[in-house]
Amino acid sequence: MIDGQGRTIDYLRISVTDRCNLCCVYCMPPEGVEWMPHADLLSYEEIIRLCHLFARLGVRKVRLTGGEPLARKGLPQLVAGIRAIPGIESVSMTTNGIALAEQLPALLDAGLSAVNLSLDTLDRAQYAAITRRDKLEDALRGLHAALDAPGLRVKLNCVPMGENDGQLVPLAALAQDHDLAVRFIELMPIGLGGGLPGRTEEEVRARLEAAFGPMIPCSETLGAGPGHYFTLPHFLGKVGFISAMTHQFCHQCNRVRLTATGFLKTCLQYETGVDLRALLRGGADDGVLEAAIAAAIQHKPLRHHFGDAAVQRADERHNMHQIGG
């Protein structure tokens, strides 16, 4: 559907759980967080019912995220249920990859189209420091399982945060020998992200060009998102950037987000949206739900104001592990 600013909204990101098996420094506090009771999360039946309505309103692509989506039992069942909805063209997932190697065969059978795997470093000690868990080997097994899966589109997401400056070149180098898009995501001042020294796209590019030579912009877009991509000499894959801070892309935003507890968030920064779980559990029929979704999308904010203290009314109810990035 078209929002109040004339943008086409055809992409829905669904956080299926607030739980996670890692505790990344920019996402969760060291002491962890209190997980939501399971009954507060949308059930798979509720998610699938909502997805039918979103598809009727024009959503074509769905991404499952978290928390860690693979921490929720029976995810292939959800993937298959969403894939079967008329109008839905792809179901993808953003994961830390820890449990991916084990679960990938069932997810592929269910119709998973693509995987984005988050990995900020290839150094074991640094990985343990950033994620507060010593699980780099599991993440790498997940990455290689995804790369070996025929037909699965794979992207790697890295958040440059100062600490991993020395790992940006080794991570980009993964795209040298693999048909993989390695993307650098500018740290956003959401939750704990505000306390770390993120790196800008220009800073990362300077490091990569010093190592690999000039980066050549690609006209091609990959997937449904705001990433822009470059090729490098002798690279099989691509290097991309998602630069919400220095290259704002809100004018072409195509997405809305459903939190694990069923709040439809129409902008990553703000609390604007609608509590669909309250409507669902209050007995609303499909017509009421569809109208509520359409009204929320009509009022989707024009843009974020990260970094603009004067207008920075951040969402204080939802953190990144509840929204899903």
Q: Which of 18, 68, 138, 201 binds ligand SAM (CB under 6 A)?
A: 68
Q: CB-wise, 155 or 300, nearer to ligand SAM?
A: 155
Question: β-strands 255-258, 238-242: how paired?
Answer: unpaired
Classify residue 36 by its DSSP letter: P
Residue 96 near ligand SF4 by CB under 6 A: yes
Residue 118 near ligand SAM by CB under 6 A: yes
Angle at which helices 136-148 and 100-110 cross, to 10°: 30
Long-range residue pairs from 106-110, CB within 8 A, at least 24 positions apart, any chain: 106/76, 107/75, 107/76, 107/79, 108/149, 108/152, 109/76, 110/76, 110/77, 110/79, 110/80, 110/83
The residue type of 154 is: V
Burial of 106 (0-12, 13-18, 19+ CB in 10 A): middle
Token duo for residue 108: 């592929």
Query: In the bound complex, what is the minimum distance in angstroms from residue 135's beta carbon to ligand SAM?
Result: 12
Query: In the bound complex, what is the minimum distance in angstroms from residue 134's beta carbon to ligand SAM?
Result: 17
Q: Which of 142, 160, 193, 240 binds ligand SAM (CB under 6 A)?
A: 193
Q: Alpha-carbon distance 146 to 101, whole Å? A: 8
Residue 322 near ligand SAM by CB under 6 A: no
The interface partner of residue 136, options being ligand SF4, ligand SAM, none and the CB cut-off 5 to 8 Å by kind, is: none
The 144-163 site mask, x for binding ligand SAM (CB under 6 A), equals -------------x-x----
Residue ranges in contact with ligand SAM by CB under 6 A? 20, 26-27, 65-66, 68, 94-96, 118, 157, 159, 185, 187-188, 190, 193, 320-321, 324-325
Residues at the annotated binding site?
Answer: 13, 20, 24, 26-27, 63, 67, 94, 118, 155, 188, 250, 253, 255-257, 267
